[in-house]
Structure 1
């Protein structure tokens, strides 16, 4: 057997994984024989496709408004559409670079000696299988729900092209498909169509009754329900859900229950995919330095545990729980640990958000502004005023880039290969440049290929992070150096310090910001404050505004409805309301 690292990870849920290939009862052959084996190559291709596929999907699902853009406009007047910003994401800090290997080592060593003490790990497998099945339900629900929404967007897109290449826009409220120009504006005087299905799916709505059924199904799959849960003085929560979330809950429960009863390798893989997907949504390095240190720390941990201790291989082979992806064909089995996906995948997802941040940085404009500047005199230490014309930073409004894959597919040309230059704003926003994401994915691919090559050559345990960490980190650094953006990559952070508004800057002769002067407040810029004060003021102002809005809403509710004690409700939108 050839094996990589495995560990049930830290309290944060990171699994530093295992990659193994066993050859059953066959006599081990040479590396050249393995390469020529089509069965072996097919297994490794499945393994590679599964790992890269879940990283690709998880990275796109973890996209959110970058700090270089203003919050998106709400569909309802007077409200901000910030549901995506409220989604919790745990940013890793510098201490995690130290704690993760230590906690992982403690868990791994503890499992090793527990296995030695029990002799038969069947009871431990059963307990861990129950625990992992239960804990993975939420992640699996998210994966299933997003998968169903992706399928819905393919079958029922909002935009698609007719056979002649003209653009169509679906209006659920009017139950009509309007002809649009390239920017998505309805063309006046052209009769609307009544079939909401695109391309080859259109033949399914062959009659008026079938068209009505298609509209009803589309409404069911695309509308939002609002679920409210309130207990006075204890708990208050409000969320939007779709039909996909309801079905995904049932499917995730069924998957966990059936797996616990049967230990099916296929269902074990589904639970593994779910945990990877959920981890990529929830965990993220705050900046490039922290991401690099976390990966490097686990890099050395992985090497030590595989090459210099018996802990890794023993735990990997004795535990039959969903901490790995398993693919089998005939007498051969190929295994990939979840840590080999999640650990580098976190930084790959961060790289995609870096691409989105740089994209919106390029949209920032600078307006000339007459203002009063407060600054401290270097000699006397007194605060003095002066008037000057400076430039205010104006950020572009964020357009949600998620959930556009179906629209992006159907708005392409012949055989989905031709791209049109002009697209509706919401679709064009999703087509931003992704050099760092693609570079890091290429680095991951090279790292995995190197891992598999070493497994073939040495036919013994190889820590995957030994190859994946240099592949991912190296690809990002090389890309930044080639593009001359090392400074931008180094300064990008998700700690909130870049999420500012009304900032006054100083420009160079090329119109680029070279110095931040301060924040504009009522026509005055106070340069006596430091960055920590600005960040604190911003956080306090935002928290105060949110609290005031909540208090106002509660007072209004009490005035109109009395004093609620307990509430659990599921509210559907009015018929015909479009939730695309």
Structure 2
């Protein structure tokens, strides 16, 4: 379902902060370590080719882990003022949003299918340029905080500016972000001119992390509705038609991660791929439950520790099991598999089993985050 995703969360009423050179309290040593692992895995195929399924599972789960932890509410240090401040609110999907998502995704997917049948080269040129630009912004947002310590302390570098980006909304940036964007533009140039698998993955990983970090499903029910809808969506478009596979293979944009498998194989068989939708959609659900773990722990007046992240780790393990199952069936049948066919039951099943074991089924099902919008009809009725 990769083609149905806005790479950075879509049009937003919440200002999108590129990276801003802020020190994020959610970036714990463990998150940093997983980030380094992800970086190593991205470049490792230049030296040694891991079995593609190992690389796929490790990279996808690393993106989910990092994005989920960066989405945790907390504080950060604003480099412009030097003061500690609350992290910007997440962009929250409403009930209507999640119900429309599979339908809109299907329209976009089929539209791309038709366009690629008629104007493949032109579509790839224009869409490739658009996604390359977004990829540069997403990657720059991740690079900026690491670039900040190596730059001189200057107000010119830390002063924030705001501007509107079509289809993205308000964007805030400073001098550090500008320098980071200039550096990442080199990656964008290489990607756009060569479509090299490594630059594709740099952008894909950036999209995945930023998407999970910035978006919220709002409630458990919203998440369940979205997963159920995309479960049907994925099965239909992969098993029922050639649309999904055709678009995924034709669309030259970083909406998927590609993994080298055999350099000696024919050109079309050298890589395996995993759509960003199969990372971001389950990742949003996992991040939602991680934030619930953390919020409940803080509400009880207890320190947040790894042992309190019960639902998160249940979901995280289930996600890995779902990916392994996908690889097993893909290898067994030697054909593309709709990953959400295995990931959705793993996500919903593990969360409900965990809640049942802890006697918290009611609390889980009624769980909501502060930013979730009320149903307009319900509000009007009241």
- The answer to whether the 8 A contact 2:234-2:340 is kept is yes
Partner of 1:267: 199
Q: Which whole-Å CA distance do the structure 1 matches of 2:76 and 2:63 have between them?
A: 30
Q: Which whole-Å CA distance do the structure 1 matches of 2:202 and 2:96 have between them?
A: 32
Partner of 1:303: 235
- The answer to whether the 8 A contact 1:354-1:489 is kept is no
- 1:360–1:335: structure 2 CA closer, same or farther, 3 Å change rule? same
TM-score normalized with structure 1 length: 0.50
Q: How far 1:43 sits from its partner (Å)?
A: 1.1
- The answer to whether the 8 A contact 1:272-1:325 is kept is yes
Matches within 5 A, 1:512-551: none
For structure 1, which segment, 277-286 or 293-302, has the greater mean C-alpha deviation from structure 2 after superposition?
277-286
- How many residue pairs match? The answer is 321
Q: Which whole-Å CA distance do the structure 2 matches of 1:470 and 1:486 have between them?
A: 17
Partner of 2:98: 97
More strand by share: 1
Deviations 1:314-360 (A, max 9, x none): 11222222111112131231111111001100011111101101101
Q: How far 1:448 sits from its partner (Å)?
A: 0.4
For structure 1, which segment, 219-228 or 271-280, has the greater mean C-alpha deviation from structure 2 after superposition?
219-228
Matches within 5 A, 1:279-358: 279-328=211-260, 329-330=262-263, 331=265, 332-358=270-296
Whether 2:313 is the aligned partner of 1:441: answer no
Q: Which whole-Å CA distance do the structure 2 matches of 1:281 and 1:345 have between them?
A: 9
Deviations 1:127-153 (A, max 9, x none): 11101011223221222235567xx7x
Partner of 1:9: 4
Q: Which whole-Å CA distance do the structure 2 matches of 1:285 and 1:142 have between them?
A: 22
1:359 to 280, 292, 297: 297
DSSP-derived class of the 2:159 partner: strand
Q: Which whole-Å CA distance do the structure 2 matches of 1:82 and 1:108 have between them?
A: 40
- The answer to whether the 8 A contact 1:225-1:240 is kept is no
Q: How far 1:221 sits from its partner (Å)?
A: 8.4
Q: Which whole-Å CA distance do the structure 2 matches of 1:436 and 1:145 have between them?
A: 31
Q: How far 1:109 sits from its partner (Å)?
A: 1.0
Q: How far 1:301 sits from its partner (Å)?
A: 0.7
Larger Rg belongs to: 1
C-alpha RMSD of the superposition: 3.4
Deviations 1:277-296 (A, max 9, x none): 12112211101010110111
Q: Which whole-Å CA distance do the structure 1 matches of 2:320 and 2:309 have between them?
A: 17
Q: Which whole-Å CA distance do the structure 2 matches of 1:286 and 1:485 have between them?
A: 18
Whether 2:176 is the aligned partner of 1:276: answer no
- 1:89–1:261: structure 2 CA closer, same or farther, 3 Å change rule? same
Whether 2:336 is the aligned partner of 1:461: answer yes
- 1:7–1:240: structure 2 CA closer, same or farther, 3 Å change rule? closer
Q: How far 1:81 sits from its partner (Å)?
A: 4.6
Q: How far 1:9 sits from its partner (Å)?
A: 0.8
Q: How far 1:361 sits from its partner (Å)?
A: 2.2
Q: Which whole-Å CA distance do the structure 1 matches of 2:210 and 2:138 have between them?
A: 5
Partner of 1:385: none
- 1:128–1:228: structure 2 CA closer, same or farther, 3 Å change rule? closer
Task: Give the unaligned 5+ runs of structure 2.
Answer: 11-47, 164-169, 373-378
- 1:305–1:228: structure 2 CA closer, same or farther, 3 Å change rule? closer
2:367 to 473, 483, 492: 492
DSSP-derived class of the 2:51 partner: helix
Deviations 1:397-448 (A, max 9, x none): xxxxxxxxxxxxxxxxxxxxxxxxxxxxxxx656562111111110100100
- 1:487–1:241: structure 2 CA closer, same or farther, 3 Å change rule? farther
Partner of 1:115: 116
Partner of 1:452: 327
Matches within 5 A, 1:402-481: 429=304, 433-481=308-356
Matches within 5 A, 1:234-249: 245=177, 247-249=179-181
Partner of 1:165: none
Q: How far 1:229 sits from its partner (Å)?
A: 4.1
Deviations 1:514-558 (A, max 9, x none): xxxxxxxxxxxxxxxxxx9xxxxxxxxxxxxxxxxxxxxxxxxxx
Task: Give the unaligned 5+ runs of structure 1.
Answer: 1-5, 16-38, 66-71, 153-216, 232-236, 365-427, 498-531, 533-580
Q: Which whole-Å CA distance do the structure 1 matches of 2:99 and 2:346 have between them?
A: 22
1:63 to 62, 68, 72: 72
Deviations 1:189-209 (A, max 9, x none): xxxxxxxxxxxxxxxxxxxxx
